[in-house]
Structure 1
Amino acid sequence: MALIPATILTGFLGSGKTTLLKRVLAEAHGQKIAVIENEFGEENIDSEILVSDTTEQIIQMSNGCICCTIREDLRSTLQDLAEKKRKGELDFDRVVIETTGLADPGPVAQTFFMDDEVAESYLLDSILTLVDAKHAASQLNERQEARRQVGFADQIFISKTDLVASDEVDALMHRLKHMNPRAPQKAVHFGDVALSEVFDLRGFNLNAKLDIDPDFLKDEAPDHADHGHDHEHHDHTPGESCKHPSHQHAGGHHHHHDDDVKSFVFKSERAFDPAKLEDFLGAIVNIYGPRMLRYKGVLSMVGTDRKVIFQGVHQLMGSDLGPAWGPGEQRSSKMVFIGIELPKDILLQGLAQCLV
């Protein structure tokens, strides 16, 4: 049986997750979607679109979608759904997991890699984070959970931009870009977003992501271009770029936010020694895993003429052989790390020492 794609939907209360879900479920798109609500807040979607209010955990909806509220752990719910699908008791094409407003999406994502039964049935497609433009600044300032959700995202949707001045939206997008340079951002109106932008994004698909996204890890700020690429590494700390004069918008809204969720990039044209790299990354993940949100890279390794693609969430790391390096292509490695107060210098120096 083909793997069932799963999407994790995260974001603060009021950001429009429920609106987005209702739209996805109500739209006649010919797909049957199972929604798992890991949600104990006041807003949930039951009353309006569910057929009947029942104590049963899994409820079939009028348009054939399925909704269930988690009363036990996610793993058993996913296994239960997959088993019912195998037996023909339930018919659905994909799963959307809506997390509570303050949830850390990390453990939810890890479920898809750690549990063999879940991994045999499901393919984690992406983590979508909804950000409420009106309240984002205070939420990001006050709540680490909000910053973590941004760091985890494969795609960021910004809602309620119509309620905020455009320079504030620019400042927000700029800030989010520093926290997570690899997630595309899109302003959406009350969850009104095309399904093609919600599903099959392949954020966790090791091979495909880098092929379909040629801009993966392009330098995020043009004013860094003069640094030259002969450096072993190249990074952005929010402080450097934000203070740069070219970033001052009219109105000076670009205050310097030194968020604890930061990203940095390592680049080199020298190849990695596979054994050294594995030892180093293993040690780093062991120590800093809980603070490492997402990390990804395309690596040039000694001993293979193919690109090595790797990524991880917290302590879980995986790698895969990608396409071959082209005949005239410059072999190089690029990695991005997104995490909370990660020791950038230790990581960059350690990686440089793993080069041949």
Structure 2
Amino acid sequence: MSDTVQAAPDTKAANTLVPVTVLTGFLGAGKTTLLNHILTAEHGRKYAVVVNEFGELGVDNDLVVDADEEVFEMNNGCICCTVRGDLIRILGNGLMKRRAKFDGIIVETTGLAAPAPVAQTFFVDEDVRGKTRLDAVVTVVDAYNVLQTLEESPEAVNQIAFADVIILNKVDLVDEAGLEAIEKRIRSINSVCRLHRAKRGDVPLSDVLDQGGFDLPRALEHAPNFLEDTSHSHEADVTSMSFEVEEPLDAAKFQAWIGAVLQEQGADILRAKGILNYAGEDQRFAFQAVHMMADGGFIGPWKKDEPHVSRLVFIGRNLNRPQLRRGFESCRAK
């Protein structure tokens, strides 16, 4: 586990990091359609695209104007890398040599892939962390087939549970009552994601890019109450639950407790994040974790009249709510 008390980068430094969007979704959900929408839209930006196989990109071969073993440059200014090599090597070295040619990076996973290993890259490798920032995990969901898919595929559940943003695609194939039932099911798995409806992946790019999903200060600007207690009890094996403590926390106690939790249960914890009030500090501490990898830092003072309450969210499997609550509450400062 990386050091959870590591200082967060200052604003100027953070602005120099390349934003990375991880685009995932089950087979046939429409993530390639969404990717093509991003690549062809008039947004004035250029993106490097990392895909598992170039053929999955779904763009015509005549868009490729220059190619070497791994990197393809297309006529809209996008650079496409195939993940035949190592993601860390591509992000840390290959793409950075062409840094001036793009404004952000999009990583498209295969339909059966879990997004966690990709996200963990940005926690584990210091070189990647020094050059990029994970902006958001965006999951495309097939509205017509999702309920059956969730019953049959744990990968689809993982993709929804891990998402910062969900694009509910093909909504024209389902009536309103059906869509409401689907959204309720999605919320039962992941209560804190942003959810947008779409037809053929046609959504405003502001709903997908520059989301700050892994940047808690910016996430709080989008949704100030996203860490409030929105726990669910349901039959799905992935749940989300929130806790809050009104008294200041002892930083050392919290680090020891959360370290033990992630060490013992990290395989089942897909995401965890929170805003913490440490005793003796006048700044908020932002914490987040992916499985066993954790990070965090101070993000500035509390807002005027804002209650100094520590809030923590877990999304995962086999979560013991009473045990987690007791553990979190035991971190209070004496």
TM-score by length of 1: 0.84
Give 2:70's aligned residue.
57
Within the alignment, does 1:25 sit opposite 2:21 as a pair?
no
TM-score (norm 2): 0.90
Code of the aligned partner of 1:290: A
Aligned residue for 2:233?
237
Larger displacement relative to structure 2 (321-330 or 333-342): 321-330
* Partner residue of 1:181 out of 170, 191, 210: 191
Structure 2: how far apart are the matches of 1:44 and 1:355? 50
Aligned-pair Cα RMSD in Å: 1.9
**Where do 4+ consecutive residues of structure 1 move more than 6 Å?**
none
**Once the 2 structures are TM-superposed, how far is the Cα of residue 104 of structure 1 from its aligned partner?**
0.9
**Is the 2:228–2:311 Cα contact (8 Å) retained in structure 1?**
no
Q: Give ranges in structure 2 of 5+ residues lacking alignment.
A: 1-12
Correspondent of 1:265 among 242, 256, 263? 242
| Structure 2: distance between partners of 1:296 and 1:166 | 32
Which residue, 311, 329, 332 being the options, matches 1:352? 329
Is the deviation greater in 148-157 or in 304-313? 304-313
Residue identity over aligned pairs, in percent, reads 41
Query: What is the distance in 2 between the residues matched to 1:219 and 1:274?
Result: 22
Q: Shift in Å at residue 219 of structure 1?
A: 4.7
Q: How far off its partner does 1:268 sit?
A: 1.9
Q: After superposition, where does 1:287-302 map in structure 2 within 5 Å?
A: 287-302=264-279
Q: Tell me, which stretches of 5 or more residues in structure 1 are unaligned?
A: 221-234, 239-257
Query: Which string of whole-angstrom CA distances, capped at 9 and with x for unpartnered residues, describes residues 291-336 of structure 1?
Result: 1111111112211122221111111111221232345433211111
Larger RCO: 1 or 2 (CA < 8 Å, sep 6+):
2
Residue of structure 1 aligned with 2:108, choices 72, 86, 98:
98
Closer, same or farther: CA 237–49 of 1 in aligned 2, 3 Å? farther
Q: 2:153 corresponds to which residue? A: 143
Encode CA deviations 1:39-86: one digit per residue, 9 max, x unaligned: 48x743243563259663111111111112211121111123333225
Give, in whole Å, the separation in 2 of the partners of 1:78 and 1:327. Answer: 40
CA distance in 2 between partners of 1:216 and 1:12 (Å): 26
Measure how far apart 1:270 and its partner are: 1.6
- Aligned: 1:6 with 2:31: no
Equivalent AA in structure 1 for residue 27 of structure 2: L
Q: Does 1:204 align with 2:214?
A: yes
Match of 1:332 among 262, 286, 309: 309
Q: Distance in 1 between matches of 2:62 and 2:28?
A: 19
Cα distance in 2 for partners of 1:332, 1:113 equals 26
What letter matches 1:63 in structure 2? N
Matched AA of 2:175: A
Q: Does 1:107 align with 2:121?
A: no
**Amino acid corresponding to residue 22 of structure 1 in structure 2:** N
Contact 2:123–2:294 (Cα < 8 Å) also in 1: no
- Alignment correspondent of 1:217: 227
